[in-house]
A = this chain, B = another copy of it.
Amino acid sequence: MIERLAVLGVGLIGGSVARALKRAGKVRHVVGYGRNRANLETALSLGVIDEIAASPEHAVEGADCVLLAMPVGSMAETFSRIATHLAENAMVTDAGSTKQDVIAAARRGLGGRIARFVPAHPIAGAERSGASAAQADLYDGRSVILTPQPENEADVVAAVADLWRACGAQVMEMTAAEHDRIFAAVSHLPHLAAFALVDELAARPEAELYFRHAGSGFRDFTRIAGSSPEMWRDIALANRADLIAELDAYVARLTRLRDALAAGDGNVLFDSFVRASGARSNWAPAGTHLENDE
């Protein structure tokens, strides 16, 4: 049982952890902090949190569990501010979409308290944002990836794993480097590629003409271009090296298709499309009703 949970960033992700732990009867009191006061008032009135803290430092005072659920670009400052205010045995976890960058920030900010921080990435999300979008079942059946640190003792890793399992999630572990490499390819690159396509069309004088004729292929390809610009700027910068490598590989592959087109070489196109179509058709996303997971 968590006696006092501090949620720093009470949006969809943080608010849903609070709701899920309440549903599971695993938390007694939730204190929330965030930049947007109106959102915190909403969270309080909806029962997502039980108390509003005036600062991150106040939020973590006396908390036995701390969750960082803000955009990853804001985590460095938060780690620094809370370090000397953490209770002796507090466990700390986060919900950031990148891990090496968050861990580096935690090492700088938390100093000797790094052993109590177990990095996590819940593979979940939804179109809506803010505390009003928080839902107790957001993590049911979804994956949460932990990237434990050498300093973490087994008990704190187990406790953080239990927390995420109590939210309904399946917990798995990998290294932070492996995590960032995989998600650069399957999540961060597709987001940049979707943003780039929409921006390319939106920048044209005849943008309206293009959008008017866009159909469901375009709709699905670009759905994630409706995501939060701030969140994705932070993720892209935080996972810069892996993302650049993925962009280079992707551009090289697009260029090969372009050269085949210019040469009128239908075989190169056909072989690539056959491989892609086969792989895509054989791929069954984990959970058939997976919706909006990032």
Contacts and interface: CB of A to CB of B under 8 A. Distances in A.
Interface string A227-243: 11110111011001001
Given A186-B214, A198-B279, A254 B294 contact: no
Contacts of A90: none
Interface in A268-287: 269-270, 272-281, 283, 285-286
B280 A225 contact: yes
A24 interface: no
Interface stretch (A6-14, A101-109, A187-195): A187-195
Interface stretch (A37-45, A149-157, A216-224): A216-224
Given A196-B272, A221-B194, A258-B247, A216 B279 contact: no
A10 to B, nearest CB: 22
Contacts of A198: 275-277, 279-280
A251 interface: yes
B274 A247 contact: no
Interface stretch (A58-66, A79-87, A199-207): A199-207
Contacts of A159: none
A197 B120 CA distance: 26
B222 A253 contact: no
A280 to B, nearest CB: 4
Contacts of A251: 251, 254-255, 258
Nearest to A211: B283
Contact of A276 (B185, B196, B249, B273): B196
B273 A232 contact: yes
Given A196-B253, A255-B251, A285 B186 contact: no
A191 B219 CA distance: 12
A213 B182 contact: yes
Nearest to A246: B200
A123 interface: yes
A120 B197 CA distance: 26
Contacts of A278: 202
A88 interface: no
B226 A281 contact: yes
Interface of A: 73, 123, 143, 145, 182-183, 185-187, 189-203, 207, 209-230, 232-234, 236-237, 240, 243-244, 247-251, 253-255, 257-258, 261-262, 264, 266, 269-270, 272-281, 283, 285-286, 290-294
Given A190-B222, A207-B279, A247-B254, 12 more contacts: A73-B266, A123-B213, A196-B254, A196-B257, A198-B277, A211-B283, A217-B292, A217-B294, A218-B285, A220-B224, A221-B224, A236-B257
4 A-B pairs closest in CB distance = A229-B273, A215-B293, A202-B279, A198-B276
